[in-house]
Amino acid sequence: MQIYKVGGAVRDRLLGKPVTDIDWVVVGATAEEMLAKGFRPVGSDFPVFLHPRSGEEYALARTERKSGRGYGGFTFHASPEVTLEEDLIRRDLTINAMAEDDHGALTDPYHGQQDLENRLLRHVSPAFAEDPLRVLRVARFAARYAGLGFQVAPDTLELMRQLSESGELEALTPERSWKEISRALMEDHPQVFIQVLRDCGALKVLLPEVEALFGVPQPAAHHPEIDSGVHTLSVLEQAALHKQPLSVRWACLLHDLGKGLTPQSEWPQHIAHEHKGLKLIKQVNERFKAPRDCQELALLVGQYHTHGHRALELKPSTLAELLQSFDVYRRPQRFEEFIAACEMDARGRLGLEERAYPQADYLRGAATAARTVAVQPLLEQGFKGPELGEALKRERLKALKAYKEQHSQ
């Protein structure tokens, strides 16, 4: 029995990056031998075991054969005869197909170390094209390592293009797709993930609503970058630079989908794109079964982001309706995330990345002014039931009028 450290742990050590998860592969062992040593089996598809003390995953060396559609359409074969090289060849990228023994000696049959030095994301074998999930994974690695200068190798991009055209991407489950998309959006360069998907034709299959934004112009006075798709990538880039949470990044990706529906005759204007985009945002949310907080924020940002940009011009009554729409009295954090998404939208414009966004503090101040209206005095005046709600609304509106007057002096 021989045990090797494999995959990401080897790759990241060679890159000088912190190693978090360690995967191990065991060559020359049977499941019975693993059990006898106290390892605990997990999963039913192939033999993976948890170490009795560390809890880390140890997988028996295995081969795989395509037996159906999609990510799950594989038959696995694990036995003591499977070699380390046979196990490594079924992996996605050469930089993930290296192994290290307990002395630190490297096994690199597919030249992963050379591709690390050349900053290339290259497939290990033609079997790469059997698993549609790898299109998303490679795009995610491109987003992770873009800051180090990594590019997808042209022949790998071609295989990704073939996969995108094969119909295999449609076989991915919403859960698997969302897992990759959400992880990619949280990388340092999530805009690269979207760009790579576009380059290989996968974006029009997975997110046709985002693909439709490219080539659609916007008024140059507000959007020096002009192209709606390019703007979306820039907004996503700003969200990553400002360390925004997943819900904000998801909202940034989807906020302008309505612009893809504007007839060419109306370009570069996009009248009511906020409202038009809601049905598209809803269908993307449902397609990937996004978590509820991501779904809700994306819809609210889609509908109200132009309100955010015009915050200083809004009438007190409009401001009051906006705060009510966000349920800001019970869910203040969601309004804070809305403000963040609006700011990223404003910064995601060519040459305006550093421009101040006074709307953010103005909106926060408005929320505070409305929240400071106390209920107790109204109860003491005898208001109750629906009348109490109306009285509370009137007092909040009064507070917002005072707030606006104070800021217009």
How would you classify the pairing of strands 23-27 and 57-60?
Answer: parallel
Q: What is the pTM of this model?
A: 0.91
- Report phi then psi at 87, rounded to 5: -70, -40
Q: Who's near 390: CB < 8 A, 6+ residues apart?
A: none
List the chain pLDDT tens, one digit each, 409 residues. Answer: 899 999 899 999 999 999 888 889 999 998 889 999 999 988 766 688 999 988 888 999 987 665 455 445 446 677 888 899 999 998 999 999 999 999 989 999 999 999 999 999 999 999 898 899 999 999 999 999 999 999 999 999 999 999 999 999 998 999 999 999 999 999 999 999 999 999 999 999 999 999 999 999 999 988 999 999 999 999 999 999 999 999 999 999 999 999 999 999 999 999 999 999 999 999 999 999 999 999 999 999 999 999 999 999 999 999 999 999 999 999 999 999 999 999 999 999 999 999 999 999 999 999 999 999 988 888 888 888 899 989 999 999 999 999 999 998 6
Return the CATH architecture of domain 1-111: 2-Layer Sandwich (3.30)
Domain ranges across the chain: 1-111, 372-408
Amino acid at 294: C
Angstrom distance (rounded) from CA 85 to CA 97: 9
Angstrom distance (rounded) from CA 300 to CA 274: 10
DSSP assignment string, 372-398: T--SHHHHHTT--HHHHHHHHHHHHHH
User: In the structure, how many helices (H) and strands (E) does the chain have?
Assistant: 19, 11
DSSP assignment string, 192-246: HHHHHHHHTT-HHHH-HHHHTTTT-B--TTT-TT-BHHHHHHHHHHHHHHTT--H
Structure-token pair, residue 16: 């000088």
Angstrom distance (rounded) from CA 58 to CA 371: 54
Amino acid at 157: L
Structure-token pair, residue 369: 């002014």
Query: In this structure, what is the dihedral angle of CA atoms 89, 49, 28, 67, given to the nearest 10 degrees?
Result: -40
| Distances 216 to 191, 211, 372 between C-alpha atoms, Å | 18, 10, 44
Which helix or strand (DSSP H or E) is residue 166 part of? none
Ramachandran bin of 109, using left for φ above 0, alpha for ψ from -120 to 50, beta for the remaining angles: alpha
